[in-house]
Structure 1
Amino acid sequence: MDDPASRSHDQPPRGLGRNAANYGDRDFALYLRRSFAKSMGYSQAMLERPVVGIADTGSDFNNCHRTAPELIAAVKRGVLAAGGLPLAFPTVSLCEPFLHPCSMHYRNLMALETEALLKAQPMDAAVLVGGCDKTVPAQLMAAVSADIPAVQLVVGPMLATRFEGERLSACTDCRRYWARYRAGEVDAARIGRIEGNLATTAGTCGVMGTASTMACLAATLGFMPLEAASVPAVHADRLRLAEEAGALAVRLIAQPVRPRELVTPESVENALRVLLALGGSTNALIHLAAVAGRCGVTVDLRRLDALSEETPVLVDLKPTGEGYMEDFHAAGGLRALLRELRDLLHLACRDLYGRTLAERIAEGPDFVDRAIIRPRAEPVSPVGGLVALFGSLAPEGAILKRSAATPALFETEARCVVFDGLEDLAARIDDEALDVTPHDILVLKNAGPRTPAGMPEAGYLPIPRKLARAGVKDMVRISDCRMSGTAFGTIVLHVAPEAAAGGPLALAETGDRIRLSVRERRLDLLVDEAELARRRAAWRPPPPPARGWDRLVYEQVLQAPAGADLAFLRPEGR
């Protein structure tokens, strides 16, 4: 018979013995916990096992995570077979199309909640089930801050659909067809048929958007196997990977590798190389900066720019190229890409199994489909997908995804048309009386992380309808917010400091001239200093929100180069 009073307090608590409530009597706290656990039908033998917590982000408001229940069942199989006790728990779930004002506004809330639950509940290790793009960075941020052994498990990308002679998948094709609809090239009946064929399976966007980019970066950092970055959501291998994640979590209890051991300056630089070679999402840069920042590692935009000059784009997927994530997986996936980048990587970085990146790359078959993953000698682009810009309009930096932009617009000096926020943009962008030409620069301000808008994916400003109907496909667009990783165009993002924080963007007015130079990495507002001083004296910051999460974000959020994290959650608390 098990005697609670006879248990030694000298051994570190494990399993249900961890993080007991404090009633002033530890034995009573554990006695109470076990009695309630037994109400769920667990045997005493099960309750004595080490515990693996499983963060469940399944939600009826998250179509991407439709497979979460079967993934969690597979994780549980892996945990049980390895001798652990799996206990799933719900967390915040973030899905871009279902959240107002946008999912980014709640990424830090999810990170805060997940960290609290990892630390408060009795678990020895965790499996984090995520996918839709803000969930994975939120979970990694939480894991790094809680610093308990944690395995990342992503739901995987959806499959493309064959429809009327072409393949479609969210969400690059969504944007492509919507732009054609706005231009009058596609009628309402066809856009309705397209709507029903863009996302036809479970999983995250089927292109190299933010979700797939973050999956590749999480695997590069060592939080999951390399092949786990690209297996489609509906493939049986995804369930086998979930089972393996459960077994790995149990292994980590006896042979711990903590998240902060994985996130190092070298591994972060590897992730930046992969981001550039993928032609990956601009959002991933913010998320990587946030994850790294939780470890005190800085993502330097000038270093990113130097890496971009050495790192070619090798992956031919939308929105930069033509393929889909299922093609990337079949072409050899992340392992094949890393082999191409081998001499540019820090190969001693280790994963949760303790294997070096060199060992991980050497595993598996040698097959690679060169139509999708190009050799270094024949890249999609000889330079990386992202560049950092600095100048009088962006003293702390801005980002341009040059791999998805129009090279003819890389050197532009033009008049700007300024929108003062999302409401102003919505009200005027399609006004036939809008004073705009194809040669102007569109500017959106007051949509950054400190605003009630929450730094939405609104940087992909629509081409004014009258210009779209005249055949205009791209214009230079500048903002302090983000764009979807599935989007394309000559779009300057993450201007820092943002307008709401008093950055120079706040002073821009319609009629000003702006100069963009990708060659010189410059973004400048060409307005006389005396006039800027006059405008600055008249500028007033937006009023703070009255209460709740919005108020906390307003007071604590950092700028884009620091990952738009909350200051008090970083190691230095600022």
Structure 2
Amino acid sequence: MTSGPGGLRSAKWFAGQNVPGFVHRSAMRASGFSRMAFEGKPIVGICNSWSEVVNCNMHFRGMADSVRRGVLAAGGFPLEFPTISLGEQLMKPTTMLFRNLMAMDVEESIRAYPFDAVVLLGGCDKTVPAQLMGAASADVPAIVLTGGPAAPAVFNGKQLGVGTDLWEYIDDVRAGRMSMADYELLEAAAGPSRGHCPEMGTASTMATIVEGLGMTLPGTAAVPAMDSRRLHVAEECGARAVGLALEGLRPSHILTPEAFDNAITLMLAVGGSTNAIVHLLAIAGRAGVPLTLDRFHELSARTPLLVNVRPAGEHLVEQVFHAGGIPAVMKAAEALLHTDALTVTGKTVADNLPTAAATDTDVIASPAAPFQPPNGLAVLRGNLAPDGAVIKCSAATPALLVHRGPAVVFENMRDMMARYDDPDLPVTADSVLVLRSAGPRGAPGMPEWGQLPIPSKLLKQGVTDMVRISDARMSGTAYGTCVLHVSPESAVGGPLGLVRDGDVITLDAHNGTLDVLVSDSELDARRATIPVVKARPTRGYAAMYVDRVLQAHQGCDFDFLTGRSAHPEDEPDAIFDGWVGGW
């Protein structure tokens, strides 16, 4: 049995005939493992984000068992370890506040323990990027295994996603078009199985991106959570982790600029979540790849929408699976990809592509006949967003992508919740709703508040969309003409904090501009009246977060975590050999 350059990393723990080797082997034997089970074999860590408070990840115990079978079958030795788990629905104030904490947990666990490779088992929105960030920094061979989309809900004979359809029904209730009795029936039907959101929300987008980056086996992203083939994939990922350990194939070999181009292209082709932009920027920062918002804009200009999935289309991710999965999407987008990029299979993207295109063109289109033309995502700049903002054009109202209207400003989420349904709110369909103090530091944590609700008096008039601007994020399941991630955020002095009710705001998504029609001198005068010191958490993780988090256009990572740590091969032997001395 061979291994990559430098041999097995775990040998530093277990191979020495000295006090450290004795203690490490003894610890394993105290856990019930004989030397025959682990000595001289690749040790594969199963990084499990299972939790009973995260419904997306509730089936991970069974998946971990399948990974374990694959590791053993390939001649490795599996060791499962837990990390914190981040669940969108129950975790407050927002999972994004804790993404970096989970990334630290994953990174330090990988580095501190004797793993030759790791399988990253994640599903819910922030778990996958957090694991990738940690793995990129630790740079131990790694492969990602996502949890798969949940079974679709069925209500009144219609298949539903988790969020996309819910937002419509919420508006129906607020407008008086749906009774509370029917709404309660919807609640009972909305979550029929474990697994992440079955539309192209953030979780499905991140699973797609993982395939685009080359960090998982082809075809894993879209396999439904409750399909037995999800367990087959888990076994294959476990077996491949052993191969990665022996070959020494690390994330740094795979997470190249070309890989990030491929991931962005796929994100655009499937109409993916804008949340993925922040996560990709953070992962790239860990990998040492100089990715910027401008690259998203450049790739959007050439990439059409090839997948007909909500919220940008009509189907769910399960239909994508049956149409050939993400490999079929990559085949359709082949001309736009760096097909010579390396993947965790040890082969290139070109080697992994299917030979034929998808046959169900109602789900996966050809580039010659896409569902929407390029420019499904726009990066905006102007005096409201000097460092950039984003808008998902593919899920917006086309007529609103160029718009001019007066601002209706909400100082924070509490202010918005108190006033947006006030019948006296001075708002019309042409107004531009503005929410501030919702960014990385201001909220804190940059919650998914960017899909500001349409005031009920407008809903009752038949208004279904309007321009909304914030320094927040938006659920990947959501839709509408929402300008997001305005940077710098208002809490650090960004121009969004200077907007007043009635100021005219202009949006031109086609030309990438976002401006408030107020002179520079007037903005400067307003800035001078805003207090410099803002309230902030005073203790614990939240205090560290607001002090060290980067802005949205930089991925919202901590400033002290960008880049890789020292490579595992450079770990000093003194840590192991100099502890008590050799025998």
When the two structures are superposed, what TM-score results if normalisation uses the length of structure 1?
0.94
Give the letter aligned to residue 455 of structure 2: P
**1:263 paired to 2:255:** yes
User: Could you tell me how far apart the structure 1 residues matched to 2:140 and 2:243 are?
Assistant: 13
Match of 1:513 among 501, 504, 517: 504
Contact 1:558 1:566 in 2 (8 A): yes
**1:186 paired to 2:178:** yes
Q: Compute the displacement of 1:18 (Å).
A: 3.4
Partner of 1:201: 193
Contact 2:100 2:558 in 1 (8 A): yes
Contact 2:268 2:376 in 1 (8 A): yes
User: Could you tell me how far apart the structure 2 residues matched to 1:503 and 1:336 are?
Assistant: 42
Contact 1:220 1:226 in 2 (8 A): no
Give the letter aligned to residue 177 of structure 1: Y
Of the structure 1 ranges 235-244 and 510-519, higher mean CA displacement relative to structure 2 is found in 510-519
What SS does the corresponding residue of 1:229 show, helix, strand or coil? coil
**Root mean square deviation, CA, Å:** 1.7
Residues 108 and 26 from structure 1, CA distance in 2 versus in 1: closer, same or farther, beyond 3 angstroms? Answer: farther
- Within a 5 Å distance, the mapping from 1:55-70 to structure 2 comes to 55-70=47-62
Match of 1:474 among 465, 484, 505: 465
Contact 1:421 1:447 in 2 (8 A): yes
Q: Compute the displacement of 1:543 (Å).
A: 2.8
Match of 2:74 among 66, 82, 87: 82
Contact 1:478 1:492 in 2 (8 A): yes
Contact 2:278 2:552 in 1 (8 A): yes
What SS does the corresponding residue of 2:169 show, helix, strand or coil? helix
Partner of 2:373: 382
Contact 1:277 1:384 in 2 (8 A): no
**1:310 paired to 2:310:** no
Q: Compute the displacement of 1:410 (Å).
A: 1.2
Contact 2:435 2:469 in 1 (8 A): yes
**1:210 paired to 2:210:** no
Give the letter aligned to residue 535 of structure 1: R
Match of 1:535 among 526, 545, 549: 526
Partner of 2:167: 175
Deviations 1:171-220 (A, max 9, x none): 21121211211111111001111111122111000001111111111111
Partner of 1:18: 13
Q: Compute the displacement of 1:551 (Å).
A: 1.2
Deviations 1:521-557 (A, max 9, x none): 1100111222211111111242332111111111111
Deviations 1:345-379 (A, max 9, x none): 1111010122111111146x654310001111221
User: Could you tell me how far apart the structure 2 residues matched to 1:218 and 1:84 are?
Assistant: 24
Partner of 1:462: 453
User: Could you tell me how far apart the structure 1 residues matched to 2:389 and 2:256 are?
Assistant: 24
User: Could you tell me how far apart the structure 2 residues matched to 1:247 and 1:216 are?
Assistant: 21
Partner of 1:5: none
Residues 463 and 254 from structure 1, CA distance in 2 versus in 1: closer, same or farther, beyond 3 angstroms? Answer: same
Contact 2:8 2:246 in 1 (8 A): no
- Within a 5 Å distance, the mapping from 1:263-282 to structure 2 comes to 263-282=255-274
Q: Compute the displacement of 1:452 (Å).
A: 3.9
Give the letter aligned to residue 262 of structure 1: I
Contact 1:140 1:291 in 2 (8 A): yes
What SS does the corresponding residue of 2:18 show, helix, strand or coil? helix
Q: Compute the displacement of 1:92 (Å).
A: 0.9
Deviations 1:493-527 (A, max 9, x none): 00000101111111111111110011221100111
Partner of 1:109: 101
User: Could you tell me how far apart the structure 2 residues matched to 1:543 and 1:171 are?
Assistant: 33
Give the letter aligned to residue 79 of structure 2: L
Match of 1:488 among 445, 468, 479: 479
User: Could you tell me how far apart the structure 2 residues matched to 1:12 and 1:379 are?
Assistant: 48
Deviations 1:59-114 (A, max 9, x none): 11100111100000000000111111111111010111111110111001100111
Partner of 1:526: 517
Partner of 1:504: 495
Residues 569 and 506 from structure 1, CA distance in 2 versus in 1: closer, same or farther, beyond 3 angstroms? Answer: same
Contact 2:387 2:488 in 1 (8 A): yes
Match of 1:427 among 418, 422, 436: 418
What SS does the corresponding residue of 1:443 show, helix, strand or coil? strand
Contact 2:271 2:305 in 1 (8 A): yes
Give the letter aligned to residue 18 of structure 1: W
User: Could you tell me how far apart the structure 2 residues matched to 1:229 and 1:484 are?
Assistant: 19
Partner of 1:95: 87
Residues 572 and 125 from structure 1, CA distance in 2 versus in 1: closer, same or farther, beyond 3 angstroms? Answer: closer
Q: Compute the displacement of 1:420 (Å).
A: 0.8
Of the structure 1 ranges 544-553 and 92-101, higher mean CA displacement relative to structure 2 is found in 544-553
What SS does the corresponding residue of 1:347 show, helix, strand or coil? coil
User: Could you tell me how far apart the structure 2 residues matched to 1:210 and 1:343 are?
Assistant: 25
Contact 1:280 1:385 in 2 (8 A): no
Of the structure 1 ranges 512-521 and 318-327, higher mean CA displacement relative to structure 2 is found in 512-521
Partner of 2:351: 359
Residues 321 and 179 from structure 1, CA distance in 2 versus in 1: closer, same or farther, beyond 3 angstroms? Answer: same
User: Could you tell me how far apart the structure 2 residues matched to 1:33 and 1:284 are?
Assistant: 40
Contact 1:50 1:85 in 2 (8 A): yes
Partner of 1:369: 360
User: Could you tell me how far apart the structure 2 residues matched to 1:499 and 1:217 are?
Assistant: 30
Give the letter aligned to residue 331 of structure 1: A
Partner of 2:543: 551
When the two structures are superposed, what TM-score results if normalisation uses the length of structure 2?
0.93
User: Could you tell me how far apart the structure 1 residues matched to 2:32 and 2:262 are?
Assistant: 46
Partner of 1:228: 220
Residues 544 and 533 from structure 1, CA distance in 2 versus in 1: closer, same or farther, beyond 3 angstroms? Answer: same
Contact 2:269 2:304 in 1 (8 A): yes
Give the letter aligned to residue 178 of structure 2: V
User: Could you tell me how far apart the structure 1 residues matched to 2:522 and 2:9 are?
Assistant: 65
User: Could you tell me how far apart the structure 2 residues matched to 1:373 and 1:165 are?
Assistant: 24
User: Could you tell me how far apart the structure 2 residues matched to 1:428 and 1:368 are?
Assistant: 50
- Within a 5 Å distance, the mapping from 1:282-301 to structure 2 comes to 282-301=274-293
Q: Compute the displacement of 1:31 (Å).
A: 1.8
Contact 2:470 2:486 in 1 (8 A): yes
Match of 2:139 among 135, 139, 147: 147
Contact 1:404 1:490 in 2 (8 A): yes
Q: Compute the displacement of 1:451 (Å).
A: 2.3
Match of 1:350 among 342, 351, 358: 342
What SS does the corresponding residue of 2:262 show, helix, strand or coil? helix
| Larger relative contact order (CA 8 Å, sep ≥ 6) | 2
Partner of 2:36: 45
What SS does the corresponding residue of 1:427 show, helix, strand or coil? helix
Contact 1:412 1:517 in 2 (8 A): yes
Q: Compute the displacement of 1:341 (Å).
A: 1.3
User: Could you tell me how far apart the structure 2 residues matched to 1:246 and 1:535 are?
Assistant: 58
Contact 2:396 2:482 in 1 (8 A): yes
List gaps (5 residues or longer) in structure 1: 1-10
User: Could you tell me how far apart the structure 1 residues matched to 2:329 and 2:375 are?
Assistant: 14
Contact 1:34 1:47 in 2 (8 A): no
Percent pairwise identity: 45
User: Could you tell me how far apart the structure 2 residues matched to 1:67 and 1:508 are?
Assistant: 47
User: Could you tell me how far apart the structure 1 residues matched to 2:37 and 2:284 are?
Assistant: 37
Give the letter aligned to residue 15 of structure 1: S
Partner of 1:30: 21
User: Could you tell me how far apart the structure 2 residues matched to 1:44 and 1:572 are?
Assistant: 33
